[in-house]
Amino acid sequence: FFNQYPGKDITEADIKRIFQTFDANKDNALDKAEVKNLVESIATSGSLSAAELDKIYAFLDKDKDGLVSPSDMAARALPWLSVIFSGPVAMVIVDVQNDFITGSLALKVYPAKEDGANVVPVINDVIAKHSAAFKTVIYSLDWHPADHISFLDNLAKRKLSDKSKIKDAAKVGLNDVVVLETKAYGPIEQIMWPRHCVQNSSGAELHSELKLAGNHTKVYKGTDPDIDSYSAFWDNNKLKKTDLHDRLSKLGISDLIVCGLATDVCVGSTAAHAQELGYRTALLEDACCGVMPDGIAATKAKLTAAHGVVVRSGQLNELLAKRDRPMAWVLAAVDCVEKLANGSH
């Protein structure tokens, strides 16, 4: 039944037709069994738990009378199905920069042994094949001042907090977690990294072979010397935000395809914040490389637990065309509409 809707703007007439089709007993209301049939007919894969059905039913039952009426459907199903079948998509490409590939923080020397250069041809292929499907393509860049808090060689410029487990600065090494005192924010927890992605340095440049989509923009993060920013949306303590969310909101974006470096650090943080804001979020796993095997697995598990999806580039054609509709994607559309409605998206 729903194969007629991908890529189509859903209208009130469509909602009436859908309601009539799934009102099996013709009592002019959808009960829970009928809504279950509706949801399972939309999804092309995956299963619907009882708790998930309850959530969707409560969402559709706008007047909270225990039944989904035609007016409930008009109010709630119209925006929900619009996200599922025609929601605008953006791609966020996170930190595909020289220092994470061949420079001071090259991922291939870390435990996962993943070479960041491998994401470049995959991303280029996606841009070449699917750029028309993206309303915008965002490239984020770590863009640190020379005195940034995350650099181990800047440790002497700040005082270790009494809250830090490591009390002796001389014993702090790469990848250690410390708490540092800052004038602007007080105590800040920080992983110590080698100097990387310093503003206007060659290490901060995007990989030379990475293609830029015609409709692209860039987001610069980690620009405050006293706080790190893994996510392309917020700094690590959510004290300041970039303009990414505002840009996406102005374009009406509902769906994000997220990829880049590193899976379990900046990509994972960006994806988590995207979901928190209400975006339906897909991790493009063959266009990502990570640091720690356990961290990569945890990032994917966290994403899918919040109704995100993990896909490979070969699956994008059907997903972007809205013909592939995993159950998680259908459920995530509820979160998207609710957060749009209350203004948090």
Active site residues: 95, 221, 266
H or E stretch including 86? helix 78-86
| Main-chain dihedrals φ then ψ at residue 257, nearest 5 degrees | -105, 120
Bridge pairing between strands 134-142 and 89-94 = parallel
H or E stretch including 328? helix 327-341
- 32-42 vs 50-60: helix axis angle to the nearest 10? 100
**Distance between CA atoms of 85 and 254, rounded to whole angstroms?**
11
User: CA distances (Å), 157 to each of 80, 181, 183, 236, in order?
Assistant: 51, 10, 12, 20
Cβ atoms within 10 Å, residue 85: 21
**Distance between CA atoms of 212 and 208, rounded to whole angstroms?**
10
User: CA distances (Å), 109 to each of 117, 175, 196, 267, in order?
Assistant: 13, 13, 15, 18
Q: Residues, the chain, total?
A: 345
Exposed / middle / buried, residue 123 (Cβ in 10 Å: 0-12, 13-18, 19+): buried
**3-state SS class at 199:** coil
Residue 220: which of 208, 209, 235, 237 has the closest Cα?
Answer: 235
The answer to whether 19 and 67 have CB atoms below 8 angstroms apart is no
**Distance between CA atoms of 229 and 220, rounded to whole angstroms?**
10
User: CA distances (Å), 99 to each of 30, 152, 186, in order?
Assistant: 56, 15, 29
**Distance between CA atoms of 136 and 142, rounded to whole angstroms?**
20
